[in-house]
Amino acid sequence: MSGEQLKAQATVRAAIDESFKRMEQVVELQLRSVENKIADSKRLDLVSGAKAVMVQQSTLTPEKFADITLSQFAAREQILADARAKGAALKEAHANVLRAYDQTVEAQKALDNYLRLERFDEKVANELLLAVGLTREQLETWTTTGLAAFEKASAVLAAIR
């Protein structure tokens, strides 16, 4: 893998990471906004419910008001908990994508290294063959012929025993 390819992959990795960080910041801001809205709505619920109980404009008793308010609070807290869980899942998904990207780059490096070594081994073997005046085809023919002769000799020896 060329140095330019490695630089390009590092740049892509950094861009992906930066995008994910920005998305996570947006999620954090949205969660804070939801938290603030929940806090505001709790205050409004308490104030309006207290007024209704005090003015006795409705059949709302303090006990009924408390039950309704607690139920609404719990529902809002569940919404917030779900949003937090989704934010955490998003962060985990981002981490998984980055890990997979890093593993892909490492695999590419390993493959490139293997191919480079394979070409080097083949080049050295060809140079050695040329040094002794052989071609690869001659070596393969001799190897095949020699192996066949060895197998015949082994069969004859096995038959003699």
User: Would residue 85 count as lying in a domain?
Assistant: yes
User: Would residue 161 count as lying in a domain?
Assistant: no
pLDDT digits (tens, 9 = 90+) for 5-33: 878 888 998 999 999 999 999 999 988 98
pLDDT digits (tens, 9 = 90+) for 31-62: 898 888 888 887 777 777 766 666 665 666 77
- Contact between 21 and 88 (Cβ < 8 Å): no
pLDDT digits (tens, 9 = 90+) for 107-137: 888 888 777 777 777 777 777 777 777 776 7
Would you state the pLDDT for residue 92?
93
* Residue 137 to residue 30: CA distance in whole angstroms: 70
Average pLDDT, the chain: 81
- Contact between 53 and 60 (Cβ < 8 Å): yes
> Which residue range forms the structural domain that includes residue 56?
3-132
User: Would residue 96 count as lying in a domain?
Assistant: yes
User: Would residue 86 count as lying in a domain?
Assistant: yes
User: Would residue 138 count as lying in a domain?
Assistant: no
User: 13, exposed or middle or buried, with CB in 10 Å at 0-12, 13-18, 19+?
Assistant: middle
Q: What pTM was estimated for this model as a whole?
A: 0.53
* Residue 121 to residue 118: CA distance in whole angstroms: 5
Total tally of structural domains belonging to the chain: 1
User: Would residue 97 count as lying in a domain?
Assistant: yes
